[in-house]
Amino acid sequence: MTPVELAPRFFLAVVVILLVCRGVSWLMGRVGQPPVVGEMVAGVLLGPSLLGLLLPGAQEGLFPADLRPVLYVVGQIGLVLLMFHAGFAFSTHSTGGLARTAAAVSLAGVTAPLVLGVGLVLVAANHVPLAPDGVPVGVVAAFVGVALAITAFPMLARIITERGQAGTRHGSIALASGAVDDVVAWVLLAVVLAAATGSPGPAVVTVAGAAVFLALVWFVARPGMLRLMSSTRVDDPARLLGTVAVLFAAAWFTDEIGLYAVFGAFALGLALPRVPASERVVGALTPVTAVLVPLFFTYSGLNTQFGLFTEPSVLLFAIACVVVAIAGKFGACWFAARRRGEPQGVALRVASLMNARGLMQLIALNIGLEAGIVGPALFTVLVLVALVTTIMTSPLLSWVEHRHALTEPEPAPVAHVRATL
């Protein structure tokens, strides 16, 4: 298709995506689910799992093959803005004496699902088509372990603030633990991607490039952004343009060195100064993020084929993966919190929040897909894990709150949290 032919197809696809995402989000909201759950489900419904199954001609007409790269690129812009926002939301809480508990929960929440995920893939590799041709099983196993170790920090932060729990003990523990979890998981993902190249050259480029990038962020971008945000001679539109230019430069650089754009966006969000001007700039980008991220969900949905679950081995592996994901994250975080002396109600709340994978896991999956280390079956299985663990969060929290009411105020400082999802 020529660009002239592609443009109207793109506009029509965006209209359909936004309307379907809004409708499904509204329906899911009626049963207490956050908007991100509706958008995740909508993306799957627009893919071959439903629309392509019932109306294959309509799906091909809406999302022709030539359009999919466009959806990917525009969706990536949404992800860059989202991860920038998540990075900015990251460092605004204090744990007030809860650092050791948060560290223990975070360590357990990364280690247990990582080990269980690796073990599950190594056991199932000879029975389920998980590894694409030419990709070592060890790399796939490591990727699955990292994907299961991820926590949906933006969604976790939003649930805590929407429920008015940002100043509670369990809210502070979950925020701190989720923050550390995601940083560790992204670093581990970068290591797996470097190892997937099979040669030392790209890995060296990635490691060296990451060191250069971090130095640029710390010594150049951080003070530069502080001057941009605090200068009285610069208005907010200029600050917005400057921020987006630096953000896209960071995304370009990390993409070029093999770390992918989301890493650069997240790091720059961490480096953004916490001043009123920064709040306004991030706030101005939020509506754009809300429009573009659903395109990413749809691109993911177009690569999700729940029809593969008709194969018994794939279905059994999917069930095992969901069980391992919940046991590894929920179980390990609950156990670590209890070992640190937390009450049952606090430990269960922390574990429920930490168990959600949400958008963060979908981002990792698409990175693995583009890197060629994730095949269709594994992609679909891990999308199911993200959906199940995310959907169960709100009802699980409500159940815990009903069974284990906290009768005394929880001694933790109020944390200021911003989150897009």
pLDDT tens for each residue of 298-340: 999 999 999 889 999 999 999 999 999 999 999 999 999 999 9
Q: How far is residue 274's CA from residue 70's CA, in Å, rounded to a whole number?
A: 34
Inform me whether the pLDDT recorded for 414 exceeds 70.
no
- Helices marked H in 125-199: 137-149, 153-162, 169-196
Report the pLDDT value the prediction gives residue 126, as an integer from 0 to 100. Answer: 86
- Give exposure, 167-202, as e/b (b: 16+ Cβ within 10 Å): bbbbbbbbbbbbbbbbbbbbebbbebbbbbbeeeeb
What does the alpha-carbon distance between residue 223 and residue 253 come to, in Å, rounded to a whole number? 19
Token code pair at residue 347: 């430990």
3-class DSSP state of 6: helix
Six token digits for residue 261: 């754009």
What's the pLDDT band for 197 if we cut at 50, 70, 90?
Answer: confident
Burial class of residue 408, CB neighbours in 10 A (0-12, 13-18, 19+): exposed
**Is the per-residue pLDDT at 166 higher than 80?**
no
The per-residue pLDDT for 14 is: 96
Q: What single-letter DSSP state applies at residue 311?
A: S
- Under 8 Å CB-to-CB from 73, ≥6 apart: which residues? none
pLDDT of residue 23: 95
Segment 236-290, tens digit of pLDDT: 999 999 999 999 999 999 888 877 788 888 889 889 998 999 999 999 998 998 8
Q: In this predicted model, what pLDDT tens digit does every residue of 55-70 receive, in sequence order?
A: 999 999 999 999 999 9
Largest CA distance in the chain: 65
- 345-386: pLDDT as tens digits: 999 999 999 998 887 888 889 888 888 899 899 999 999 999
Taking residues 161-179, what's their average pLDDT?
78
What is residue 258's predicted lDDT score, i.e. its pLDDT? 74
End-to-end CA distance of the chain: 35
